[in-house]
């Protein structure tokens, strides 16, 4: 239970995106410190192939140090696994002083209960992805993967990301309506989660479609806030983007993190 919190998702931190990383560090020093808690709803990193693979990386150690400094300054930091960093585990979370949340999670913030999820589990129109997700989230599959040499794990992750990007772009070129449906949450899955948790204030990321929605199905009604992904490094293809949701006693507010 917290009197205030700020929520972010899909930052996709990687050394090859230094402007995004710098904006994240500035966010930790400024906007995040004005709240009792920071809640990261997944995909903090572009990819994660095991804590051991990142243990000595200067970049990832710097991220951990910045997050630990925020918690030491009095802002509790929570992390929920995303589809790209679900292998982040206790070794790194202890370095960064993160508390790992289950997905989904109901939390009380500013006197109201909120239903939090990364969002990928709600994209049930993408049957192939849901099969993949079900497989890679199995503990025994993860245990086998983590026994592979680091270089092989990185190669596998890079190959999967490349195939996913290529498939998306092909589908977007020829069937944009199908891409929109497959890549977004479905109302049936959302209604089921709302009913299961008995919480009708939902926040998620993953879809990269920021916005606010009032929805209903089968006698249920709920509000859904969608967080933006972050990208401050590719002005040639996308405008700088990144937001956060601030929840205080005054209500919920979208923070636009793009500076003119």
Contact partners, residue 215, CB within 8 Å, separation at least 6: 187, 190, 191, 221, 222, 223, 224
Total tally of structural domains belonging to the chain: 1
Q: What is the pLDDT of residue 150?
A: 86
Under DSSP, is residue 43 helix (H, G, I), strand (E, B) or coil?
A: coil
The residue range of the domain holding 160 is 5-256
Angle between helices 139-146 and 150-174 (to 10 degrees): 120
Q: What is the pLDDT of residue 237?
A: 76
**Whose structure tokens read 């500035």?**
26
Q: What is the pLDDT of residue 53?
A: 83
Contact partners, residue 131, CB within 8 Å, separation at least 6: none
Phi, psi (5° rounding) for residue 204? -150, 170
Query: Strands, DSSP E only, in the chain?
Result: 5-8, 37-40, 76-80, 99-101, 105-109, 112-117, 201-204, 211-217, 220-226, 243-248, 251-256
Distances 219 to 66, 112, 113, 188 between C-alpha atoms, Å: 45, 22, 20, 12
Q: What is the pLDDT of residue 259?
A: 74
Q: What is the pLDDT of residue 56?
A: 74
Report the CATH number that the domain containing residue 51 is assigned in CATH: 3.60.21.10
Q: What is the pLDDT of residue 38?
A: 98
Q: What is the pLDDT of residue 179?
A: 45
Q: What is the pLDDT of residue 170?
A: 46
Q: What is the pLDDT along the chain (260 residues), one digit of tens a residue?
A: 899 999 999 999 999 999 999 999 999 999 999 999 999 999 999 989 899 887 678 999 999 999 999 999 999 999 999 999 999 999 999 999 999 999 999 999 999 999 999 999 999 999 999 999 999 999 999 999 999 998 898 888 888 776 555 444 444 444 444 445 556 899 999 999 999 999 999 999 999 999 999 999 988 999 999 999 999 998 777 789 999 999 999 999 999 999 74
Report yes or no on whether pTM surpasses 0.85.
yes
């Amino acid at each position: 239970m917290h009197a205030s919190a700020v929520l972010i998702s899909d930052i996709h931190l990687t050394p090859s995106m230094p402007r995004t990383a710098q904006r994240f560090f500035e966010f930790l020093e400024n906007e995040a410190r004005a709240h009792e808690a920071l809640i990261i709803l997944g995909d903090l990193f572009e990819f994660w192939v095991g804590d051991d693979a990142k243990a000595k990386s200067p970049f990832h150690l710097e991220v951990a140090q910045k997050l630990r400094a925020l918690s030491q300054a009095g802002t509790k930091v929570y992390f929920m696994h995303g589809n790209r960093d679900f292998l982040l585990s206790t070794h790194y979370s202890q370095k960064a002083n993160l508390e790992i949340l289950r997905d989904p999670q109901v939390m009380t913030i500013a006197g109201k209960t909120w239903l939090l999820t990364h969002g990928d589990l709600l994209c049930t129109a993408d049957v192939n992805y849901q099969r993949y997700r079900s497989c890679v989230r199995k503990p025994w599959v993860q245990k086998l993967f983590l026994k592979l040499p680091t270089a092989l794990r990185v190669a596998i992750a890079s190959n999967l990301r490349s195939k996913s990007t290529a498939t998306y772009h092909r589908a977007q070129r020829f069937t944009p309506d199908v891409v929109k449906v497959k890549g977004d949450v479905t109302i049936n899955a959302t209604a089921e989660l709302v009913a299961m948790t008995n919480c009708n204030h939902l926040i998620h990321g993953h879809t990269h479609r920021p916005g606010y929605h009032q929805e209903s199905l089968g006698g249920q009604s709920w509000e859904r806030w969608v967080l933006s992904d972050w990208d401050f490094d590719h002005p040639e293809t996308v405008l700088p983007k990144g937001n956060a949701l601030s929840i205080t006693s005054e209500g919920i507010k979208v923070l636009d993190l793009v500076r003119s």
